[in-house]
Amino acid sequence: MHGRGWWRFVIPGLGLLDWGAIFAALKAAGYQGDVAVEHEDSAYLGERWNEGLTIGLKTLRPLVAAY
């Protein structure tokens, strides 16, 4: 439908997902399990790997702490 290459993986905080809303919905539903977020952003591979992890951590850590 969309064709190849219409999207790509990005680090949490750089994409279109509202992570706050996602965590709020999980909390509202009573979810108490794990959440796995994979680092697959091709712009942050190799030498930029830690930079990508830092961006994702800064985005998600406050949400997980509030959860």
| Sign of the CA dihedral with 42 first, then 24, 35, and 64 last | positive
Q: What is the pLDDT of residue 65?
A: 86
For residue 1, is pLDDT > 60? no
In tens, the pLDDT along 8-62 reads: 899 999 999 999 999 999 999 999 999 899 899 999 999 999 999 999 999 999 9
Q: What is the pLDDT of residue 2?
A: 63
In tens, the pLDDT along 50-66 reads: 999 999 999 999 998 88
What are the tokens at 40? 């697959």
For residue 7, is pLDDT > 90? no
What are the tokens at 63? 């949400």
